[in-house]
Each structure stands twice: as C-alpha cells, then as structure tokens.
Structure 1
Amino acid sequence: MKKFIFILFGVVLFVAAIVVLLTVDFNRAGKDNVYIQVDEPASTEEDKLDTGEIATTYWYEQPAYTEDGDEIEVTFSAQKDLRQGAYLMLYVDDDNEVSSYDEVSEEELPAAVEEAL
C-alpha cells in the first residue's frame, strides 16, 4: 500500500510540474513593469537566414516610466517595426533589461505614467 501511495504522489507531482512549465511565462514572472510610448527604432539589424530570407531586428532606445512616474532608460528589440505612438508595458528585471512587452491602451496607463508621457 505504501508503494502505491508513493507512486501516486510521484505521478501527481510530475503532472503538477508539467502544468506549471506549460502555463508560467518565465519572461514575465517576477518582473517589474515600465511603460513607454513607441518612438522610431534607433537602429535596425538584418540577418540572412539559412532559408535565404532576411530577418530584420528593430532596436529601440528610449526613456520608460515606472508606475510612480520615475524615468529609466531602456533598450530592447522587436522582430517587427512597432506601431509608432503605441503604448507598451515592458517587463524588466533589476538591471532594466527588457524580457517581454504587451501593448496597452491609454486608459490602462497609471496616472503618473500618463502625466510623464
């Protein structure tokens, strides 16, 4: 009986680990949020893929604002030319490195950020 309970516990633990790995976005977990209004890219970089296609990376360097309205400088890349004037919520770590972003509406901006932008 103890062997059965031990195996059942192991299976439940394994399934729980798989569910966590499939549902948690580690690029966003535990990150701080800052906000920007997209400007023109600072630079672009083109790479030729093995298939012969050209992949363009757009680099953005601009000020971002914390929820309190404090300004920080961020540099991040995107695989497409982002819509100028769009508002983005960036996910940054302690070194202000951007790991992901989401587009947000103006109504979703914190009041201090809206005032700073």
Structure 2
Amino acid sequence: MKKGIITLAVVVIVLVGFVVFIQNVNVNRLGAQQYYVQINQDGKRMEDKSDSGEKHVSYEYTLEGFDAKGKEKSLTFTAGKELRKDAYLRVYVKGNDVSSYQEVQVSELPEQAKQKLEGAEK
C-alpha cells in the first residue's frame, strides 16, 4: 500500500512538472539558433482563406539577421500582424526555418550583432 502511494505521488509530481514546463517554455525555441534583426521595412501582406471561408491575414518579412558573432543570414518569416517599425527581434532558427521570434531592446543585442545592425541602417 505504501509503495502504491509513493508511486502515485511521483507520477502526479512528474505530470504537474510537465504541465508547468509546457506552459512556461516555448518548445519552438529549444535547440534553435538565435539571430537578431531589425524591422526596417513593411511586411508583405498575405491573405489566405480557410476551408470555412474565414479570411486570415499575415505579413511576410525577409530580413538580414546576425548571430552573436556577427555572422549574417537571410531570414524569411511571417507574423500575424504588422510588426513595429525599427523594432529589434531575436529570431529563433531551426535549420533554415524561423520557428519563433520575440522583440528585444537594443541593450539586449550581442555587441557583434548590434554593430552589424547599426551599420545596415546607414
């Protein structure tokens, strides 16, 4: 009986831990390379219709990104809304595909990436 209760407690703890992990961690960012971009152009508006006829609008961006060492890579990704002009993004890349992104402050940019992005503005 005691072993059963201990086993049940361990299973419950693991399940609760898994749920907390899934809610707080974006799995699209795990194992991804990080690049930094600046939104310096308007996104290309793309419209699509679902099978039910509902219209979906997204915006496609193709920008030059830089990793923490300043290595350049052309990145294409979509967003569900137009992104703020001049915003800096940390872009997560798996293989050649962007899996996620998040806005960051200029103070969060690695020095090499910051230099390249500031040089690209001019």
* TM-score of the pair, normalised by structure 1: 0.83
Q: Which has the higher helix share?
A: 2
CA distance, structure 1, for counterparts of residue 37 and residue 103 of structure 2: 10
What's the counterpart of residue 92 of structure 1? 93
Q: Which runs of 5+ in 2 are unaligned?
A: 118-122
1:1-117 alignment runs, 5 A limit: 1-41=2-42, 43-48=44-49, 50=52, 52=54, 54-93=55-94, 95-117=95-117
Q: How many pairs align? A: 115
Q: Which moved more, 1:73-82 or 1:104-113?
A: 104-113
Identity of aligned residues (%): 35
SS at match of 2:76: strand
Paired AA for residue 12 in structure 2: V
CA distance, structure 2, for counterparts of residue 48 and residue 111 of structure 1: 42
Change (3 A) 1:13 1:104: closer
Is the contact made by 1:41 and 1:61 (CA closer than 8 Å) also made in structure 2? Answer: no
* TM-score of the pair, normalised by structure 2: 0.80
**Cα-to-partner distance string for 1:24-52 (whole Å, 9 max, x where unaligned):** 21122222210011132463211245475
Is the contact made by 1:36 and 1:88 (CA closer than 8 Å) also made in structure 2? Answer: yes
Q: Which runs of 5+ in 1 are unaligned?
A: none
CA distance, structure 1, for counterparts of residue 91 and residue 27 of structure 2: 14
**Cα-to-partner distance string for 1:4-30 (whole Å, 9 max, x where unaligned):** 222222222222222222222112222
Q: Which moved more, 1:39-48 or 1:17-26?
A: 39-48
